Each structure stands twice: as C-alpha cells, then as structure tokens.
Amino acid sequence: MDDFDPDRDEVIGRAYQAGVRAILCPMDVTSLKSIQTTLEMGSRHPHVYSAAGVHPHQAKLFNPDFLSRIKEFARDKNVVAIGEIGLDFHYDFSSPDEQRAAFRAQLALAKDLRYPAIIHSRNAGREIAAAVREEYFYSGGVLHCFTEDWEFAKTMLDWNFFISFSGILTFANAQPLRDIAQMLPLSKILIETDSPYLTPAPFRGIKKRNEPALVIETARVLADLKKVSVAEIAQATTKNFYRAFRIPDPGSQPHI
C-alpha cells in the first residue's frame, strides 16, 4: 500500500519489537508495484510471507492470464496462499458477476495447487460457503477480517478454515462480533491488522494508519473474551498461523 512507502522497513521493525513473529502480506497481482514490493519484502525479511490473488475490488480487471501469473508466483517459497480472493457485495468497485467469475476461477486454482485461500467476504457469506462446497475445497485457509454471522463461521470451520479478527473486534459497536469470537475455539482463531485500515481501540481516531505492531490490541480484547492471558493468545494464534499456511513453526524446531 502507498501508505507505507515512506517507512516500510521501520514498520516491519516495530512489528518485530512488539512481538509479532510473522507477517503475511497479500499482493495484488493486477498491480506491478504491489508484486515488486511484496516479493522484495519477502526476500529481505525471512518472516514476511506473501499471498497472490485478485481481490474482489479488482475483479473487473481479471482475465484468465492472471491465473498463470498466480501459479508462477506460487512457486516462490514465500508465497504461501492464494488471496485475497472472494466477494464484496457492500462496495461496487466490480460487479457481482465479475467478482463471482474471478473468485470461482481462483478458488479452483487454489484447489489444483492444494494451497490455502485467504477469503474476503462482505455481505456474501452464503455465496462464499456455496462456492467452497461446490468446489469441494478442502484446502482450507482463512476467512480474513471476519465480520459476518455465526452460521457462516461454523460452516467454514467444517471446511478447514480459520477465522481471523481485525481491529474491528476492539470497536465499541462490535459486541456481536465479540460474541462470535467468544464461541469459537481458540485453535481456529487468527488475529490481523488489515493495515493500513481498521486501527484498533484505543488508537482509533488517534493514529490514521494501522500497522502490524498494533495487533497486540486485538490480542488483548481476545484474551479478555477467552479469559486467558495475552501470552496464551499470542502462543495460540502464532501456532494457528503456521498451521493455516503450512509453514514449519520455527518455535517448535529442535535447537541443535
């Protein structure tokens, strides 16, 4: 994102200082700048991973050539998922039919590659779940920045998906979302920033730009909901991250 052009390395450094173990940054394969910047970050920072996909907002740009491009990127060891892909029926940056075509094609590719998918769903839970069922997509992945209902969450758990909460979990008006987080097993939860958006409380309105170091605030709210320590949330969500994206967990490797 352009928001990080002035200080991207400093942002990554602050994340590590705050205790963030790994970062996953989806690239927009319709943007040359996004591709170059994301891959370059991964080459210089061993704990920065990538995903490759066409976001539903850019679905109007999608054509089958992008599938070959995504498949090529997937050969890079730092590209660990297909995404963000999905449906967004809140905004109209791309038409519903354009979104459906791009989503279905990329979901099929992820299935062929046996890669997890990072799915963006806004006002689209039923269609997302139907597509996953019809594609018989058992590679799983992550429901990113989850804001939908309990039934959708439960359905996606059955298809090997993790549910990821952003700074929205800390917002005063997000009690229904906190109720869902409370019901979900901790073994299926991730936390994220969705930076530069969705700055969590208490920094919402103070900091215009969200960044990975602030994910600790979402962890604190989740710890309160689960009645466990922040350290336990950190341990669980870190373990879940490596499981979701099938990355060897460096914290579990024997020391020689």
pLDDT per residue as tens digits for the range 239-249: 999 999 999 98
Alpha helices in 114-214 (DSSP H): 125-135, 150-157, 175-183
What was the pLDDT predicted at 141? 98
Report the DSSP beta bridge partners of residue 85.
Answer: 119
Quick one: pLDDT band at residue 253, thresholds 50, 70, 90? low
Alpha carbon dihedral 100, 103, 109, 114, in 10-degree steps, equals -130
Q: Of 183, 194, 68, 208, nearest to 120 (Cα)?
A: 194
**Poorest-confidence range of 106-110, 129-133, 136-140, 204-208?**
204-208
DSSP string, 33-71: HHHHHHHHHHHH-TTEEEEEE--GGGGGG--THHHHHHH
Q: Of 177, 171, 117, nearest to 147 (Cα)?
A: 177
What was the pLDDT predicted at 208? 86
What was the pLDDT predicted at 222? 98
What was the pLDDT predicted at 256? 41
Q: How confident is the prediction for the chain on average, in pLDDT?
A: 95
What was the pLDDT predicted at 216? 97
Q: At residue 254, does pLDDT exceed 50?
A: no
Q: How many other C-beta atoms can be found within 10 angstroms of the C-beta atom of residue 113? A: 16
Q: Which residues contact 15 (CB under 8 A, 6 or more apart)?
A: 23, 211, 212, 213
Could you tell me the residue ranges of all domains in the chain? 61-247
Cβ–Cβ under 8 Å, residues 158 and 178? no
Taking residues 15-41, report their average pLDDT.
96
Taking residues 180-196, report their average pLDDT.
97
Using DSSP's 3-state secondary structure scheme, residue 25 falls into strand
Q: At residue 30, does pLDDT exceed 70?
A: yes
Give the integer Cα–Cα distance in Å for 141 and 163: 9
Taking residues 211-235, report their average pLDDT.
97
Q: At residue 200, does pLDDT exceed 70?
A: yes
Quick one: pLDDT band at residue 103, thresholds 50, 70, 90? very high
Q: pTM for the complete prediction?
A: 0.95
Q: At residue 178, does pLDDT exceed 60?
A: yes
Give the integer Cα–Cα distance in Å for 240 and 191: 10
Give the integer Cα–Cα distance in Å for 193 and 195: 5
Q: At residue 35, does pLDDT exceed 60?
A: yes
Q: At residue 51, does pLDDT exceed 90?
A: yes
Q: Which residues contact 205 (CB under 8 A, 6 or more apart)?
A: 199
- Angle of helix 175-183 relative to helix 150-157, nearest 10 degrees, comes to 30
pLDDT over 90 percentage in the chain: 94
Say which CATH class 61-247 falls into.
alpha beta
Taking residues 109-128, report their average pLDDT.
97
Using DSSP's 3-state secondary structure scheme, residue 155 falls into helix
Which residue shows structure tokens 């997937």? 74
Q: At residue 8, does pLDDT exceed 50?
A: yes
